[in-house]
Amino acid sequence: MRTSPARHFPSRPLVAVLAALSLLLTAAVVVAPSTPAGADSRAPAAPFVGHALNQPVVGMTATASGNGYWLVARDGGVFSYGDAQFHGSTGALRLKAPIVGMAATPSGAGYWLVASDGGVFTFGDARFFGSTGALNLKAPIVGMAATPSGAGYWLVASDGGVFTFGDARFFGSTGALRLDAPVVGMAATGGGGYWLVASDGGIFSFGDARFFGSMGGKHLDRPIVAMSATASGNGYRFVATDGGVFDFGDAQFYGSLGGTGHPLVVGMAATRSGSGYWMLTLAAEVVGYGDAVYRGEPGPAFSASIAPLSAAQKASMVGVTWRPGCPISLDSLRIITMPHWRFDGSASAGELVVNASAADAMVAVFHRMWDAKYPIDKMEPVERYGGNDDAADIANDTSAYNCRTTSSGTLSNHALGLAVDVNPLQNPYIHPDGKTMDPNAQRFANRSLQEAGVIHAGDSVWSAFASVGWHWGGTVISPPDYQHFSPTGK
């Protein structure tokens, strides 16, 4: 990743050069194509304040005072909190492309929404200066930033192509570079410049934007998803999907979600003072640090992504949950990132590794479980437990792929990525002597218990798997394996 302090290219009003699109986060949502957002749209719509989401949230922006914020969903639904006023949304429109970001006017009396095709929608005192909605882009738009005057804006594509409108000047782009990772966002200085950030933490600075450092070329546990600049323009910070925060220049660190097990982060916004920031998660959870005060959040929506295993994920599995001689290749697997309810009623993000042929079906299954409010303690790949199935069971981990045999020594459907174990504590495997491997699970051998997480024939979990033709080990296997679902039940 090139991360030079300033990299300039010949000025062009529009830049978009072919680049392969990488998903912006491990929890990026699956979107269906919809209709180019076009020009100025001021569709009257009822405020979404406090209402449940119809589509996942994709970003947030703070008010000029720092005493409120707006959240925006993929369908353009806008949620306003604190002193943020609702000025309209595209929530009632049929879009040709999903909304990917928003920016507020300097007065705070309006905002723009931008779609992945570069269509721009204006509300309140936000004026329409143009869009790329009618262009055939070579890479999707991933973000926008307003000029200090509010009389213009920049759009940025995943290849780093920059598009300028109104009084926004073109200072350069990465559109002509071959990037190691896609650009995922941008932030403007208070003067004449902007930064672009890539998912590997590489920073590109243009105009009067100074380079203060980056994570390009360094190890990240999760990809970068958003950035914000300090009020002085002498620093910036960015956030990864696990909530890890990286600060540079005069940006101060006030806390992070890294390692806390919260749902995947999809956005961030800084307070006006620069002494705090909010994070927004895939489950529509808002978390504030420093002087960023929590003002509210909408109810979460289910969303899921299906992706091939990354090089890092494959490396973590080799010799642990996969080894030469296993019946399927790592390229035959997919990782699903999706939210689930926890036992305390909160939403969390989970990861499930399954056979590619079963990925769509498993998304449908867990969507039904989400809708039924079925709680899942945790959902992590088994390599997090060293490939040890007993350790994963004791941790009450809901998981799928693991190249292993069954207790009888035959090849398990888990080795094919065609089996899922759900809440092993509440749904244990019963040994022939009636005992459970985990003593804490013994009381759940009594299947008359009507407790959260306990699966029964005909219930929401059983029905969700049955809807895709999978069977339950609680009735198919003897002795029963109450956590187990597969196409055969074995």
Diameter of the chain measured on Cα atoms: 77
* pLDDT band at 44; cut points 50, 70, 90: very low
Nearest to 120 by CA among 63, 62, 41, 55: 41
327 with 280, same domain: the answer is no
Beta bridge partners of 277: 270, 289
User: What pLDDT, on the 0 to 100 scale, is given for residue 105?
Assistant: 96
Indicate the residue among 265, 290, 315 that finishes a domain: 290
> Which pair of tokens denotes residue 454?
């306990």
For residues 141 and 279, membership in a common domain is answered with yes
What residues make up the domain containing 372? Answer: 305-486
Rounded Cα gap, residues 270 and 287, in angstroms: 12
Average model confidence (pLDDT) for the chain? Answer: 86
237 and 358 inside one domain: no
Domain membership flag for residue 448: yes
Q: What is the pLDDT of residue 37?
A: 30
> For position 53, what pLDDT does the model report?
67
- 363 pLDDT exceeds 80? yes
pLDDT digits (tens, 9 = 90+) for 17-28: 222 223 332 223
The mean pLDDT value for 129-141 works out to 93
Residues 128, 269: one domain? yes
Together in a domain, 233 and 276: yes
At residue 407, does pLDDT exceed 80? Answer: no
Assigned token pair, 90: 């595209």
Q: Are residues 221 and 340 in the same domain?
A: no
pLDDT at 423 over 70: yes
pLDDT the model gives residue 217: 85
Per-residue pLDDT, 299: 67
| pLDDT tens profile 294-352 | 998 876 678 899 999 999 999 999 999 999 999 999 999 999 999 998 887 778 889 99
In this structure, are 433 and 406 located in the same domain? yes
Residue for token pair 């879009």: 95
The contacts found for 248-255 with CB under 8 angstroms, 24 or more apart, are 248/203, 248/212, 248/213, 248/214, 249/210, 249/212, 249/213, 250/274, 251/212, 252/290, 254/289, 254/290, 254/292, 255/289, 255/290
Least confident residue range of 100-104, 340-344, 406-410, 451-455: 406-410
One domain, residues 241 and 94? yes
Establish if 377 belongs to a structural domain. yes
- The domain tally of the chain equals 2
Residue 11 lies in a domain: no
Q: Note whether residue 428 is domain-resident.
A: yes
Tokens of 46: 């009822």
Averaged pLDDT, 184-212 = 96
Half-sphere exposure of 340 (CA within 13 A, CB side): 29
Domain boundary residue among 255, 290, 325? 290
| Residues 80 and 125 reside in one and the same domain | yes
pLDDT of residue 388: 94
Q: What CATH number is associated with residue 135? A: 2.130.10.10
In a domain, 1, yes or no: no
Question: Is residue 160 assigned to a domain?
Answer: yes
Q: What is the pLDDT of residues 452-486, one digit of tens each?
A: 899 999 999 999 999 999 999 999 888 999 999 99
Q: Do 419 and 480 belong to one domain?
A: yes
CA nearest to 287, candidates 312, 254, 313, 248: 254
Same domain, 200 and 68: yes
Range with the lowest mean pLDDT among 26-35, 60-69, 191-200, 292-301?
26-35
Q: Is residue 9 one of the residues assigned to a domain?
A: no
What's the pLDDT score for residue 327? 96
- Residue 36 is predicted with a pLDDT of 28
For residue 22, tell me if it sits in a domain. Answer: no
Instruction: Assess whether 359 and 258 both reside in one domain.
Output: no
Could you list the beta-strand ranges (E) of 331-407: 333-341, 347-355
